[in-house]
């Protein structure tokens, strides 16, 4: 099995994290706003309106736009983006038989491109059996120990990072769709 050369590289494709910009006109603050008259920073041009009307923020901006132009260009190019090394390793692990049940993930879930499409966007998700929310890594390990009868992968291990990145990549570009009602109400 090839080792993942950049174990943290999955962060490069996990660009769903949103950064927030505070309200432009915060009149309650007594601190002089030196930036006010200068040009808007380039990343602010990428701000979008928050989906919730209750949001305390005027706009939200993807963390992507806080990165250097070089890093943005590298991430935009799938061939140069080191995160895709993890995607490739995850794809190999997907159909690799492991554990006492003699199965691979593909034995039950077939083609991840269709069965895992949109799945990662909904995580963390409520797990009925455990009666608690689980994140994607935990869900993968539930299938490893339960369905494959294999050792769960350690958190932060190249294997779990690769599988998580592979499954996340099947939701690429899709909006985050985590449920926050029912048992998942904050």
Q: Does 64 bind ligand HEC (CB under 6 A)?
A: no
Determine the interface stretch with ligand HEC among 50-58, 79-87, 104-112, 175-183 (rule: CB under 6 A).
Answer: 104-112
Comparing CB distances to ligand HEC, the nearer of 22 and 102 is: 102
Burial group, residue 137, by CB count within 10 angstroms (0-12, 13-18, 19+): buried
Using CB under 6 A, pick the residue from 35, 71, 107, 145 that binds ligand HEC: 107
Q: Would residue 150 be called left, alpha or beta, if left means φ above 0 and alpha means ψ between -120 and 50 degrees?
A: beta
Distance CA 48, CA 107 (A): 41
Nearer CB in complex with ligand HEC: 74/143: 143
Contact assessment for residue 24 and residue 61, using Cβ atoms and an 8 Å cutoff: no
Residue pair 105/170 in contact (Cβ under 8 Å)? The answer is no
Within residues 149-178, the interface with ligand HEC by CB under 6 A covers 163, 167
CB contact set of 72 (below 8 Å; sequence gap of 6+): 64, 65
Among 137, 139, 161, 162, contact with ligand HEC (rule: CB under 6 A):
139
DSSP tag of 59: E
Residue 76 vs 130, nearer CB to ligand HEC: 130
CB of 61 to ligand HEC, least distance (A): 29
Q: Which of 19, 59, 67, 125 touches ligand HEC by CB under 6 A?
A: 125
Do residues 98 and 152 touch, judged by C-beta distance below 8 A? no
Which range touches ligand HEC (CB under 6 A), out of 11-19, 41-49, 135-143, 171-179?
A: 135-143
Residues that bind ligand HEC in the complex, under the rule CB under 6 A: 103, 105, 107-109, 119, 125, 139-140, 143-144, 147-148, 163, 167
């Amino acid at each position: 099995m090839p080792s993942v050369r950049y174990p943290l590289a999955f962060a490069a494709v996990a660009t769903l994290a949103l950064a927030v910009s505070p309200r432009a006109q915060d009149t309650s603050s007594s601190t002089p706003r030196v930036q006010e008259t200068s040009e808007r920073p380039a990343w602010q041009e990428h701000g979008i309106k928050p989906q919730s009307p209750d949001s305390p923020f005027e706009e939200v901006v993807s963390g992507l736009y806080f990165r250097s132009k070089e890093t943005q260009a590298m991430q935009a190019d799938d061939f140069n983006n080191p995160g895709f090394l993890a995607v490739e390793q995850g794809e190999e692990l997907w159909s690799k038989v492991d554990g006492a049940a003699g199965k691979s993930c593909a034995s039950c879930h077939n083609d991840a491109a269709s069965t895992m499409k949109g799945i990662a966007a909904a995580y963390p998700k409520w797990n009925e059996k455990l009666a608690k929310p689980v994140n994607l890594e935990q869900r993968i390990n539930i299938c490893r120990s339960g369905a494959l009868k294999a050792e769960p992968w350690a958190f932060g291990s190249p294997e779990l990072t690769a599988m998580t990145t592979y499954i996340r990549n099947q939701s690429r570009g899709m909006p985050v769709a985590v449920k926050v009602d029912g048992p998942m109400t904050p």
